[in-house]
Structure 1
Amino acid sequence: MAEMFFQGWDGILRTLVVGVLTYACLVLFLRVSGKRTLAKLNAFDLVVTVALGSTFSAILVQQSVPLAQGLAALALLVVMQFAVTWASVRSGRFARLIRSEPRLLLRHGAPCPGAMRAERITAEEILSAIRAEGGRDLAEAEAVILESDGTLSVALSRPPS
């Protein structure tokens, strides 16, 4: 039962050493890969971020994962992220394949029900975004757009008072 709480200093020392080295390498990899890796997340970026976190965790706590193998996995994820974003910038077709396009959800105060249903966005969520921008109701919005990163952009038809 005591092993559940403490299995010896070797495991703790390994976690500390591997944790510091892995963290330092991950920061270096992200720094080399550029600001794009840390930008607002679209669905693809979110998957890569979660995979990086999961890989970091596996390296840190699983003694069966050697440091070199874990760092190779982190490097692979960062290189793949870089390659995909590099290809997206150079090919519109590839970019459309990877990322979703922004979608108009409300125009001139009138909701676009088909777009809202397809994107699973409610009128209450749109109204909340309008209120966050200083509006009071749907009629005060010229447009509401669901951006590629999942945020709602609001253009009010009148300046907020």
Structure 2
Amino acid sequence: MFEFWTGAEELPIYGFLIRAVIVYVYVFLLIKILGQRSMMAVSPIDFLFGVIIGDVVGEPLADGSTELGGPLAAASLIGGLHLFLSYYALKLPRFRRVIEDEPLILVEKGKILHEEMRKAKVTVEALLMDLRIQSAIDLSEVDYAILESNGQISVIKKSKFDALTPTDMGQNPDTKGYPKVVIQDGRIIHANLRKFADLTWLKNTLSNYGYNDAKEVFLMTVDDTEKVFISPMKTRQSV
């Protein structure tokens, strides 16, 4: 009856399905406990954690004779160790340098640092590719390029090539804040709407934009300046 947990030489298909559900829920909860950091840009310690966890919990899904309890216990230990190292890396700057590499400056004041690139094992082609991704096609516009600890290259352009901001033009626009989702997939998100308005305001706003009902709207957001964005339901259907 509990072959899905203890394992068997000829584990039935339903046993593999049950194991898959257990492993999925287990890994999901493990990631939630560790926090969103593990799901962001991958650092070396996060990469190591992902590889080991994948190998440990993946074996019972491929080999039905393997007991499920052992791999899950091992994964719990690895998750606890990962959380322990991440916590102390946040608390102790010196220990952080053992866990995470320091950022390396590859371009400084417009000049490419060949020794740093050799140290980081970054080719010119890789550097140019990352600069293009950062919309820094013209090398003469680049002031600094830094290889971050997660392997990504960040770019700081020279001040004269920065985009013009409202402050540069002597303007002081209102803060837009975080747009609130008021309608999603034709359904009103009442919890968000109550924060700044009511159903009467929503009905009048929809009417001003040519909609008779919330069911006609796929997505509607409102920011702190009361700027409204509406995407109609028919657009999604036509796609």
- Compute the TM-score of the two structures, normalised by the length of structure 2: 0.60
Partner SS for 1:145? strand
Structure having the higher helix fraction is: 1
Change (3 A) 1:87 1:124: same
Are the aligned partners of 1:104 and 1:146 in contact in 2 as well (CA < 8 Å)?
Answer: yes
Within the alignment, does 1:108 sit opposite 2:109 as a pair? yes
CA-to-aligned-CA distance 1:84-117 (integer Å, 9 cap, x gap): 0011111111111111010000012210011001
Q: Please give the alpha-carbon distance, in whole angstroms, between the structure 1 residues aligned to 2:155 and 2:149.
A: 14
Spell out the pairing of 1:65-144 with structure 2 (5 A cutoff). Answer: 65-144=66-145
On the 8 A contact 1:102/1:147 being kept in 2, the answer is: yes
1:22-67 per-residue CA deviation (whole Å, 9 max, x = no partner) reads: 1111111211222222232111110111111111211211234211
Q: Structure 1 residues 118 and 22 mapped into 2: Cα distance closer, same or farther (>3 Å)?
A: same
Q: Distance in 1 between matches of 2:54 and 2:15?
A: 19
Per the TM alignment, residue 160 of structure 1 is displaced from its structure 2 partner at its CA by 6.4
Distance 2:11 2:69 in 1: 19
CA contact (8 A) 2:134 2:154 kept: no
Q: Is the 8 A contact 1:105 1:112 kept in 2?
A: yes
TM superposition score normalised by structure 1: 0.87
Please tell me the residue identity of whatever aligns with 2:38.
T
Structure 1 residue 156 corresponds to structure 2 residue 157: yes
Distance 2:154 2:146 in 1: 5
- State whether residues 143 and 154 of structure 1, in contact with CA within 8 Å, keep that contact through their aligned partners in structure 2: yes
Which 5+ residue runs of structure 2 have no aligned equivalent?
1-8, 165-239
Greater C-alpha Rg? 2
**Aligned residues, how many?**
154
- The structure showing larger relative contact order (alpha-carbon pairs under 8 Å, at least 6 residues apart) is 1
Alignment gaps of 5+ in structure 1: 1-7
